[in-house]
Amino acid sequence: MKILICNDDGFQAPGIVALYEALRTVADVEVVAPEHNNSAKSNALTLHSPLYVHHASNGFRYVNGTPADCVHVALTGLLGYRPDLVVSGINNGANMGDDTIYSGTVGAAMEGYLFGIPAIAFSQVEKGWAHLDAAGATARQLVQQLISQQHVGAAPWLLNVNIPNRPLDALKPIKVCRLGRRHAAERVITQTSPRGETMYWIGSAGAAKDDAEGTDFHAALQGHVCLTPLKVDLTDHDHLGYWAQTAARMAAGRAPAGGEAGRAAGTAV
Ligand code: MN
């Protein structure tokens, strides 16, 4: 069993060290992670500058790129083999609801999933690394169970897991939840640079808006380890029919080339 580990907080972050230490006891693990913090880089790939891979003294490899770059480079030539599982994290802070769209932690896992490899993104609910040992143990337990029950090696899947910052014996069992939603982000923050220019800092993510029962926000508040299976298809399947009808109406209303009737129909739109 071979596991590729990545994250978005950078190869020196305590979360990836904890994940590596936890998973090395259950599989052959390799770390390929960003050199610097790449939180909120989603699935971004670096296309217009070269990527370099360096070895850290602890055996980790680090890349001057994004989380998705790391997994992409690892899977398309760097590793020389195909890992059975891609695991990302453990992130410094929650990736719940809309966070999953922006998250580099999820992006790294998603890159593995896009290559047909099962993948998991792990995050701690609060920033600051409190009870990181418990999060590591939780990750090991879940990965171990997935492997022993032969879920790794079958069809690929993508799991998003958030772990409350609690000691192991205070963590409630895994709850499978849907993603909640956040309110719109806080206002942008402005400052004046030493040269008199206005600087804009992206504000914090909004608070939970949909944290109803069944969501990751709700389960995390109750102290559960939250697990959400993700898919990548962004198609709005519920509204395919509506847009098909709308497109047909628009096409019918469009003036055909030449002819008064056509022009009249066209103006009626
Ligand atoms: Mn991060």
Q: What is the pLDDT of residues 118-127, one digit of tens each?
A: 999 999 999 9
- What is the rounded CA–CA span in Å between residue 168 and residue 31? 25
Please give the distance, rounded to the nearest whole angstrom, from the Cα atom of residue 8 to the centre of ligand 1: 5
pLDDT tens column, 165-204: 999 999 999 999 999 999 888 899 999 999 999 999 999 8
Distance between Cα 14 and ligand 1 center (Å): 11
Average pLDDT, the chain: 94
pLDDT tens digits, residue range 20-41? 999 999 999 999 999 999 999 9
What pLDDT shows up at residue 268?
44
> If you average pLDDT over residues 158-162, what whole number do you get?
98
pLDDT at residue number 154: 83
Q: In whole angstroms, what is the distance from residue 68 CA to residue 34 CA?
A: 9
Ligand 1 geometric centre to CA of 42 (Å): 10
Ligand 1 centroid distance, CA of 20 (Å): 16
d(CA 115, CA 113): 5
257 alpha carbon – ligand 1 mean position (Å): 55
Per the structure block, which two tokens stand in for 80?
Answer: 């020389």
Q: What is the pLDDT of residues 60-79, one digit of tens each?
A: 999 999 999 999 999 999 99
